[in-house]
Chain A
Amino acid sequence: MSETLIPFDDVLASYDPALGLEVHVELNTVTKMFCGCPTEFGAAPNTQVCPTCLGLPGAMPVVNGKAVESAIRIGLALNCEIAEWCRFARKNYFYPDMPKNFQTSQYDEPICFEGYMDVEVDGETFRVEIERAHMEEDTGKSTHIGGATGRIHGADYSLVDYNRAGIPLIEIVTKPIVGAGAKAPDVARAYVGQLRDLILALGVSDARMEQGSIRADVNLSLSPKGSGVLGTRTETKNVNSLRSVERAVRYEMSRHAAVLGAGESILQETRHWHEDTGVTTSGREKSDAEDYRYFPEPDLVPVAPSREWVEELRATLPENPTAKKTRLQAEYGFSDLEMRDVWAAGALPLIEATVAEGTAPQSARKWWLAELLRRANDAGVELADVGVTPAQVAAVQALVDAKTINDKLARQVFDGLLAGEGTPEEIIAARGLAMVSDDGPLIAAIDEALAAQPDIADKIRGGNQAAAGAIIGAVMKATRGQADAGRVRELILEKLS
């Protein structure tokens, strides 16, 4: 079923969008939220389980102190208040991959509340207000076998893996974000991206969207332009890349506008995002009619972080990303325009890591933005996931600096790195990419080129140094790019002067 859509610009002519983002961050604690089971990703199904995370009768939860610490650090980094006293609560509903048929979460007493994050889009700053950040446990994972869709309907049977059940999650919920207008999709993307960078800087999660360690639910509603009232919202679940966050917002804006424009009303529901087709489809009808019967978890004692501890944790926070951005721009000498591109591409942490390996900032910027960003876009992945590490970029640039290779050859080295052909040195050796450093073969190639183009040789002799380019090009071709163009120019001019 294809939905009717209204072009994006037309949406904005009639409506104001309101965004709400719920981001689940899977913490990288060694053990689960309420038991001692390991959390490592990718183990054989149901091998990282115990009576507690399987919900066996009689088993009890115990709070993972490290997870509380991570929650507080996230809250502090988001400028939140930290509760002096809070409890866990049971969220009751039935689902086969929920071992206890309730999720141990937090309800009206979140550990972190009332914060904000300033996000930057095209040089403009939007303040995203954070309503809360609370602790909860993940569910198991269902796999539906048989049937065409991979969904439970039509499946022959379903398998449940409880390894994920009980992994600590922090759910970060924004207040409604209004006033972003046409930039709503970009604000959503920038928020999730900056949040991811912050989480990475805190070191509390692997923050890998494609593995689900950061999952975004995108709430969107439209209200008639200028009315100031919030419309009915939809919640698009599990949007698992920054690009998809932006696309999902854009799509839902167009879809909502079409529904409202036809005089119909938006159904409050959960929607599924389809990465491949770029559309959302209706999920279960959600609404506030679903009653989770929250009540305080009686098996756990309240969490009461002392103010001293909170201040100790505050002292461990990494530099505020906005301040850091300003500092690095000055240190690296990037222009505003360069910095905007760097920021938009999410390249700053990568450049920083590359510079830390000894690369000049402009060289690092050049590789990440000019070369690797294109490859990431071609592959449809985030720059950080392009498959080349900052250390590798630094190694390649070091080889350029040493004149072992030139920029053009370096691109082939990146090809080799992405193909998994080994270290840059191994790739250079295997592909025969090293530059010709001996003048002998270069002079031979120059003589050959000059002989082939005597008119060019005359122009150079006549003082037209720019004409040397044609000879350099021929030499480069003859040496399959492995000549140092600068050296070739010197040799040509020496010869003809």
Chain B
Amino acid sequence: MSWIKKTAAELADALAAGEVTSVELTQAHLDRIAAVDGDATAGVHAFLHVDAEGALAAAEASDKRRAAGAPLHHLDGVPIAVKDVLATQGLPTTCGSKILEGWIPPYDATVVRKIKAAGLPILGKTNMDEFAMGSSTEHSAYGPTRNPWDQTRIPGGSGGGSAAAVAAFEAPLAIGTDTGGSIRQPGAVTGTVGVKPTYGAVSRYGLVALANSLDQAGPVTRTVLDSALLQELIGGHDPLDSTSVDQPLPSLVDAARAGATGDLTGVRIGVISELSGDGWQPGVMARFQESVDVLVKAGAEVVEVSCPNFVHALAAYYLILPAECSSNLAKFDAMRYGLRVTPEGNPSSEEVMKASRDAGFGDEVKRRIIIGTYALSSGYYDAYYGQAQKVRTLISRDFEAAFESVDVLVSPTAPTTAFALGEKLDDPIAMYLNDLATIPANLAGVPGISVPAGLADEDGLPVGFQILAPALADDRCYRVGAALEALLTAEWGGPLLDKAPAVPENGTIR
């Protein structure tokens, strides 16, 4: 089996055993990217920017460190891809937007700094919906990413690039960000693992904010253990992010290893009754129910739990998020960096700002800026933003009440499997509904994981199983997720991705 098919944990072991070098691994992934990634018009198009030179230089440095016998991070030398929403010094960072075309950050996000410090070569920056606004990666200003399972379908969003890169074996690890499901939903529809850590468990410094109170960076991988390894690497308190949590989390890797034994005796699991019913694809519900049954067999106690305020989550989310992003995006004014459009004549700075923002932002971004500006306006603030914050409190209380009786909550990650590219592009509300199950965790700041639950009967596409835990109890997501993964993989006779069709390579793409 070629190196690219191996998990990050396996690659780390192979590096440690001297079976392969980081340069070989990095080159293998760069070759894979060259073979399958294509561009805006065809191919997976998971990457907006590939940094072959930088990745190979980092790999070479890693090999030298290892040869010198220096103490190394466990993942030193294992390549990684980074969502284009995190600032990378010297590497373009566009957030999938024209307004940042050509911007090279002069600094690294804390997550990126930690990755570099640990010696992971960064393969490149992955595609995303513009400023992370979307559930399909179709809102990227640089063209959509395609689902490796079926290139006529969406890879989820906003982090479709990171999920597709991992699913297409272009990278063993990737970083995503999750504001309302942007790590978990792409994980679900590409048959990969995605984790949204507890709000504040991973620094947001250098993460170009969509909605500051909801955003959280996290791992995108093919296994639960790999996610645990990656979250432990990127997590922890950051003095540059005052909202980051200043207390250690229980060991996530230990939790993943404990879960992998398949024993969940004594674990209490709540099925969220509000996250099922009309609009939920039968094939999704079938795989979800089977997964619940697997957990019962593993020894878990399963009960149904009601979270009555979850039905208001989407409405609250689509006020809080636009409000915060309307303010965040004000800084893109062509004065200091990014796109500048200068109208004819002798334009004022205000006219330059206007023209640049008009040309630089896509429709979905403009839509949310308008909604957010309205929601914060004097006279409307209480009715919209203020009310949404109250709903948010109620949702947090639903979680608190539920976690009094259960250890984790579960639901399908998304209501449907990957839909066709273009299918929901003209219907923003239908697009927003994709995040129904993932949004409550962001509003409450609790952690969540999506693990593959099999393929839907209707379309043969991946289904995701979501596990939510109380804040700071990320380890529970890993334990239950690893158990489900181990039991289902045993049932399937191998990872779900083994069932994916071969990704078309160069020459066969067009």
Contact = CB atoms under 8 A, between A and B. Distances in A.
Interface of A: 51, 54-63, 90, 92, 94, 96, 99-102, 152, 158, 160, 291, 293-295, 298-301
B330 A101 contact: yes
10 contacts: A56-B106, A56-B337, A57-B103, A57-B332, A58-B206, A61-B242, A94-B333, A293-B326, A294-B376, A299-B212
Nearest to B214: A298
Contact of B243 (A51, A294, A299): A299
A63 B242 contact: yes
Nearest to B203: A60
Nearest to B99: A57
Contacts of B103: 57
B455 interface: no
A299 B209 contact: yes
Interface stretch (B59-67, B377-385, B457-465): B377-385
A298 B109 CA distance: 18
Contact of A60 (B95, B204, B373): B204
B396 to A, nearest CB: 15
Contacts of A100: 330-331
Contacts of A99: 331, 336
B207 interface: yes
A297 B172 CA distance: 36
Contacts of B335: 96, 160
Contacts of A299: 204, 209, 212, 241-243
Contact of A291 (B211, B326, B378): B378
Contact of B333 (A62, A90, A101): A101
B246 to A, nearest CB: 10
B205 interface: yes
Contacts of B239: 62
A101 B334 CA distance: 12
Interface string B125-149: 0000000000000000000000000
A56 B100 CA distance: 11
Interface in B84-107: 86-87, 93, 95, 100, 103, 105-107
A298 B206 contact: no
Given A293-B377, A295-B324, 9 more contacts: A55-B336, A58-B209, A62-B240, A94-B350, A96-B333, A96-B349, A101-B330, A295-B385, A298-B211
Most chain B Cβ neighbours within 10 Å, of A54, A57, A291, A299: A57
Contacts, number: 103
A56 B207 CA distance: 11
B261 interface: no
A96 B354 CA distance: 12
B242 A295 contact: no
B415 to A, nearest CB: 28
A57 B378 contact: no
A62 B242 contact: yes
A57 B242 contact: no
A57 B87 contact: yes
Contacts of B255: none
A94 B211 CA distance: 20
Most chain A Cβ neighbours within 10 Å, of B109, B330, B376, B377: B330
A298 B107 contact: no
A300 B204 CA distance: 12
Contacts of B87: 51, 56-59
A291 B332 CA distance: 20
Nearest to A93: B330
Contacts of B243: 298-301
Interface of B: 86-87, 93, 95, 100, 103, 105-107, 109, 204-209, 211-213, 239-243, 323-324, 326-327, 330-333, 335-337, 349-350, 353, 373, 376-378, 381, 385
A101 B87 CA distance: 20
A56 B107 contact: yes
Interface of A is mostly: loop
Contact of B242 (A54, A58, A300): A300
B216 to A, nearest CB: 13
Contacts of B211: 298
Given A55-B336, A58-B109, A295 B207 contact: no
Nearest to B204: A60
Most chain B Cβ neighbours within 10 Å, of A55, A59, A152, A301: A59
Contacts of B204: 60, 299
Most chain B Cβ neighbours within 10 Å, of A101, A160, A294: A101
Contacts of A298: 211-213, 243, 324
A98 B214 CA distance: 25
Contacts of A62: 239-242
Nearest to A54: B336
Contact of A58 (B105, B323, B324, B336): B105
Contact of A102 (B208, B327, B353, B373): B327
A102 B381 contact: no
Contacts of B377: 291, 293
Contact of B206 (A59, A102, A293): A59
Contacts of A294: 376
Nearest to A300: B242
A156 to B, nearest CB: 10
Most chain A Cβ neighbours within 10 Å, of B105, B207, B326, B333: B333
Contacts of B208: 57-58
Contacts of A58: 86-87, 93, 105, 109, 205-209
Contact of B376 (A56, A101, A293): A293
A132 to B, nearest CB: 19
Contact of B241 (A57, A60, A293): A60
A262 B335 CA distance: 45
A479 B189 CA distance: 103
Nearest to B386: A295
Nearest to B372: A293
A92 to B, nearest CB: 5
Contact of A92 (B105, B106, B336, B376): B376
B331 A101 contact: yes
Contact of A94 (B107, B324, B353): B353
Most chain B Cβ neighbours within 10 Å, of A56, A63, A102: A56
B249 to A, nearest CB: 19
Contacts of A56: 87, 105-107, 336-337
Contacts of A92: 326-327, 330, 376
A152 B208 CA distance: 31
Contacts of A96: 333, 335, 349
Q: Which 4 A-B pairs have the closest CB atoms?
A: A101-B330, A298-B212, A293-B376, A298-B213
A231 to B, nearest CB: 23
Contacts of B378: 291, 293
Contacts of A63: 242
Contact of A293 (B213, B327, B337): B327
B100 A57 contact: yes
Most chain A Cβ neighbours within 10 Å, of B105, B239, B327, B332: B327
